[in-house]
Amino acid sequence: MDQSSGLAPSAEDILASYHIPSVKPLWLNANYAKHIVKGNFLTLSAKPKTVEMGEWVAHQVVDHWRMLITFIRLVHDKEEDGSSICNSRKCPKMSAGMNHSFTWLSSRLIPVEIPAYEYLTLVQRYISGKIDDSNIFPTDPAGVSYAENAAFSSPAPETGRQWDDTPEQALNEKPGQDWIGKRSGFPQNFLETCQTIFRQMFRVYAHLYWSHFEDMFSLNLEKSMNSCFSHFILTATTLNLLKKADLEPMQPLIDLWAALGTFPPGSKAYENANLQVGRLLVQKAGGPPSN
C-alpha cells in the first residue's frame, strides 16, 4: 500500500522495485520465455500418494541435479585453450544481476565472495558429495518405504527455520519423534540438507539466467533451460524446498510465467507470483508469444 496516496502500488511500481536494469534481460521478454514442451509440469512435481515423502524428495533432488549439471558444464568446462564461458573476468563474483550476490562459507565458516567459476566448482563438489553419501541418500532397496497415511501424502509444512550454507544442521529432534524420510532410512536432518541443496541449485540457475542466458540462446538451449527451471520452481514450491524470499532474484520471471500460464492456478508457484507484473511484462513484449 502506498502510504502517501492510500492506493495499492501499480504493476509499474512493483516492477520498478525489482531494480531491473533499464535494458531488461532477454529472458524477461515473453518471446524468449518459451519451453520445449507443452503441458503441466506440476504433475511431475506432485508426490504420488503411495510414495513416502523422503523417497520423493530424494528423487527430486537427484533428478533436478541431473538436469542442472548439463547447463553448468556448458559454461564451466574448459575448452582446449583453457578458456570457459564462465570465468573470473566475466563473472568476478557469484551474482544474479546487480542486486543479488551469493557468498560461500570459508573453512572458518566466514561468508566470502568468490568468482562464479569457483562457486560453480564448489557447488558441484558439495551437491555431488551429498548425493553420493549413502548416509544421507541411502540406496539400499530394502529401505524404500511407502506412505500409509495422509501425513506422508502431502508436502512438508514450512518450519519457519532459517538456514545458512553450513553443512546440514542438526535439528535436535526429541527421541522417538518422526521426520521426513525416517522410515526409508534418511537421517533426521535430511530435509534440511535437501533444502540447502535446492537453494544452491536455485542460485546457480539465477546466475545462469542473469549472466549466461545469451550463451544458452546462442546454443539454442534457452527453451531447454526454461523447461528445466520452471519444473524446478514448481517442485521447490510444491515440496517447500525453497522459501518465497529465496526466489527473489528470479521473481520477475516467476511473475511472467504465471501470467503466461506456465504455472497453473492453485500451484504454490502461481501463488508466489505477482500477476499484475507478469501481465505488464507480457504487454511490454507486445503480447503473448506465438507458438
> Binding site for Zn(2+), residues?
86, 91, 207, 212
Cα distance between residue 275 and residue 238, in whole Å: 19
DSSP 193: H
Q: In this structure, are residues 32 and 222 in contact, taking their beta carbons and an 8 Å threshold?
A: yes
* Secondary structure (3-state) at 2: strand
- Which residues contribute to the annotated binding site? 86, 91, 207, 212
C-alpha cell at 157: 509444512
C-alpha cell at 212: 549466461
Q: In this structure, are residues 52 and 147 in contact, taking their beta carbons and an 8 Å threshold?
A: yes
C-alpha cell at 35: 519451453
C-alpha cell at 54: 523422503
Cα distance between residue 25 and residue 29, in whole Å: 8
